[in-house]
Amino acid sequence: MANPGAASSSPIHPQLLGSNQAIRLLAVAIGVNLSSTGDTVISIINSSNWSVYQTIVTNASTSLATASGTLYSAASKGGVAYMTANTALSGNTASTVVNTFSSQNTLTQTGANLYFNVATAQGSAVTADIYVYGYDFSVQS
């Protein structure tokens, strides 16, 4: 058998999809502080026109008994709310728990950021990771 040449690989990471017909990771924030109220800015990954499908909260550093929050398209609880206001995060009882929240709004957006607003703080030092999945309607070249 002849040598086909140098090894090569084709990445299949969702960010490289050539179609807007697939749900992909739109934004991620690792180690979001849930022990104080306010916004955490989450940058949109390589998209200029998108729609949120689902928000995932996981990897809580401790059981979230009291923390609540909501994902918004603008700072200070402004713009479009993608989760029910002040969604309880109490289902995150361990770092291995993955809680999914379906979007409450399917409008397309063009902003560069999302904002996870902690409405009720946990009261003790705690963090969690936030993943936002959705559709990318940017023009594909």
Q: On the CB side of 20, how many CA atoms lie within 13 Å of its CA?
A: 15
> Are 54 and 28 contacting, i.e. CB atoms less than 8 angstroms apart?
no
Residue 27 has which token pair? 């934004």
Q: Using one digit for the tens of pLDDT, what is the confidence trace for 74-85?
A: 999 999 999 999
Taking alpha carbons only, the member of 121, 16, 113 closest to residue 69 is 121
Q: Which CATH class is domain 22-136?
A: mainly beta
Model confidence, pTM:
0.84
Length, in residues, of the chain: 141
Question: What are the residue ranges spanned by the domains of the chain?
Answer: 22-136
Q: Using one digit for the tens of pLDDT, what is the confidence trace for 25-60?
A: 999 999 999 999 999 999 999 999 999 999 999 999
> Are 134 and 44 contacting, i.e. CB atoms less than 8 angstroms apart?
no
> Are 89 and 57 contacting, i.e. CB atoms less than 8 angstroms apart?
yes
Q: Using one digit for the tens of pLDDT, what is the confidence trace for 98-133?
A: 999 999 988 899 999 999 999 999 989 999 999 999
Percent of the chain having pLDDT more than 70?
A: 83
Cβ neighbour number for residue 84 with a 10 Å cutoff: 12
